[in-house]
Amino acid sequence: MGRLVRKPKLAEAEAPQQAADFGGMFQAPTRARPAAEAVAGDDYLTRMVKYIPAEVIGGSMLVNAILAQAMVSGGDNAAMAGFSVTGIAVGALLVGLILTPLFCWYVREDGDAWTTNAIVSTVAFPFWAYLMGAVAFAKFHDGNLAAILILTFTAVSGLVAPVADTPKAEEVQNANAKEGPRLVETVKA
């Protein structure tokens, strides 16, 4: 199981068999390769879990813990290195929004729908930051609203399924040409 949502794979169309029987003695060579089986992508629950940008949320929780401590000790006018803590928190939220798609790109593997994952995870990040009590949302944070928002968004995000890649006719023809003719088998009656 990969970290990102997997695309479903459609079965490749097999070229028609050009067998001439000749009394069961020969099997005509064909350039068609065996059809690849269809592979289902991730299901609803798996997509729902994989769209959560957990690694970026973990990093932002650490930054927000430091910023929250500065807010407690400094009050509403807390500052770090001459900058408002609230301004730093908004900057940290924006950095998290930028890092989410970059992380999806970095951990991608063949068959991952990393662009779909990056888009949904980037949209999910502010919801999760709000739930975790990010300092950027401190003035209007409501725990009950946060729980409702994250439950709704997570349930809806599982409905976003990546589209399967369909093999292009050129790719199938090129793959068949590379394989070459198969050996002719003789069958004794």
Q: Residue 175: which residues within 8 A CB-CB, separation 6 or more?
A: 33
Measured distance CA(31)–CA(34) in Å, rounded: 10
pTM for the model: 0.70
What pLDDT is attached to residue 34? 52
- Angle formed at CA 178 by CA 172 and CA 181, multiple of 5 degrees: 100
Measured distance CA(173)–CA(14) in Å, rounded: 10
Regions of the chain with pLDDT less than 50: 1, 14-22, 26, 183-184, 189
**pLDDT tens-digit map of 31-49:** 555 555 666 678 899 889 9
Measured distance CA(116)–CA(163) in Å, rounded: 9
- DSSP 8-state secondary structure symbol assigned to residue 20: -
What pLDDT is attached to residue 180? 54
Measured distance CA(139)–CA(130) in Å, rounded: 11
Domain borders along the chain are 17-34+169-189, 52-157
Measured distance CA(21)–CA(3) in Å, rounded: 49
What pLDDT is attached to residue 144? 96
What pLDDT is attached to residue 162? 87
**pLDDT tens-digit map of 122-144:** 999 999 999 999 999 988 999 99
The residue behind tokens 């599982």 is 158
